[in-house]
Amino acid sequence: MKRTDVKFRHLSIFIEVARQRSVGKAAEILSISQPAVTKAIRELENILQVKLFEKDGRGIKLGRIGEVFLKHAGASVAAVQQGIDSVNLALLHAAPPVRIGALPTTSAHIMPKAVKLYLQENVGNEIKIVTGENSVLLEQLRRGDLDIVVGRLASPEKMTGLSFEHLYSEQVMFAVRPGHPLLESPNLRLDELRNYTILMPTKASVIRPFVERFLMANGIPELPTQIETVSDSFGRAFIRESDGIWIISQGVIAHDLACEDIKVLPVDTSETRGAVGLTTQSDKDQDTALSIMMQSIRQAAQAIHRTV
């Protein structure tokens, strides 16, 4: 048997004959001839190499194997119909919006290109993008207020009921303005950070544990002057106007680095690398619009990191 030989019409006709327990009634409901119904059933039985129906007085009924096959055929046809309805809703602009939670690292780095790719598909669903701390976005995802979160992989205890798809990895960097005094230091020591104001990710941010472990491992348990923030706009403005040092994910400042508006200190932060990807609810179905958006995000991430 070749699975590809089974057609949708075989399944839909089989289901209707099983429901009506009559070839004639099924033909009437489907608006096709009785010979066409009989032919479809015989083709299906030949493909499966089993007898699906047996005589029952003047009518017919499903045999044991037919009962088993009906469960799977019904699920298959229902899934196809659900897909058709999802596509139709998307094309009619009647489906709900795609709601995305994006950490700062992806909202500036990946999402602009991903949204551009999504819009090219002319799906029509509205797009809602929310940025914030990882813990807040994941809670909104669990409640159903968001459909997907794009950002770093959270700690295991925060991933209960959620699924993660890895896209790429990135690390934390120490960003400063061009001309910063430490850029001229021939042998930069990390304890020199104590002499400057440090912009730190907040305690609820997903990269904070990476940063704390890195600083502790390098003998810096505390920083005298620090400001906690997840605001990328404040971070850019602050280091532009001061000698402050901004501890931030690579993706947030990727464009600034390419334009040379921001520099990074020559510090090996490879141990802060972490996975960035898509987080969704484990048991939630994806409609057409969300599936296309996820494809767009994958494509955008692949294109950007292929050129890095």
Domain containing residue 45: CATH number: 1.10.10.10
Beta strand ranges found along the chain (DSSP E):
53-56, 59-62, 98-102, 127-131, 148-152, 162-170, 172-176, 198-200, 226-228, 245-249, 263-264, 274-281
List 281's β-bridge partners, or say none: 162
Q: Report whether 279 contacts 164 (CB < 8 A).
A: yes
Quick one: 134 and 261 in the same domain? no
Structure token digits, residue 29:
């409901």
pLDDT of amino acid 222: 84
pTM, entire model: 0.66
Domain boundary among 74, 91, 108: 91
7-11 own/partner pairs: CB under 8 Å, 24+ apart: 8/77, 8/80, 9/40, 10/40, 10/43, 10/44, 10/47, 11/44, 11/73, 11/76, 11/77
pLDDT of amino acid 95: 59
Full domain range(s) for residue 84: 3-91
Quick one: 112 and 184 in the same domain? no
pLDDT of amino acid 9: 85
When computed from its CA atoms, the radius of gyration of the chain, rounded to whole angstroms, is 29
**Looking at the 3D structure of the chain, how many domains does it have?**
3
Quick one: 75 and 157 in the same domain? no
CA angle 213, 209, 240 (to 5 degrees): 95
Residue 258 CA to residue 230 CA, distance in Å, equals 21
Quick one: 212 and 69 in the same domain? no
Quick one: 86 and 117 in the same domain? no
Domain boundary among 91, 121, 147: 91
Encode the chain (308 residues) as per-residue pLDDT tens digits: 455 578 888 888 888 888 888 888 888 888 899 999 899 889 988 888 889 888 887 778 888 888 888 888 878 877 777 676 666 665 655 557 889 999 888 888 899 999 999 888 877 678 899 988 888 899 999 999 999 999 999 888 889 899 999 999 999 999 999 999 999 888 888 889 999 999 999 988 889 999 999 999 998 888 889 999 988 899 999 999 999 999 999 989 988 999 999 999 999 999 999 999 999 998 887 777 888 899 999 999 998 876 54
Domain containing residue 208: CATH number: 3.40.190.10
Quick one: 249 and 228 in the same domain? yes
Residue 29 — left, alpha, or beta (φ > 0 → left; ψ -120 to 50 → alpha)? alpha
Quick one: 257 and 183 in the same domain? yes
pLDDT of amino acid 168: 92
For 23, other C-beta atoms within 10 Å of its C-beta total 21
Quick one: 123 and 248 in the same domain? no
Quick one: 221 and 86 in the same domain? no
Quick one: 67 and 209 in the same domain? no
Quick one: 178 and 249 in the same domain? yes
Residue 257 CA to residue 292 CA, distance in Å, equals 30
Quick one: 256 and 187 in the same domain? yes
pLDDT of amino acid 283: 82
The DSSP 8-state label assigned to residue 60 in this structure reads E
Residue 19 CA to residue 10 CA, distance in Å, equals 14
Domain boundary among 52, 68, 91: 91
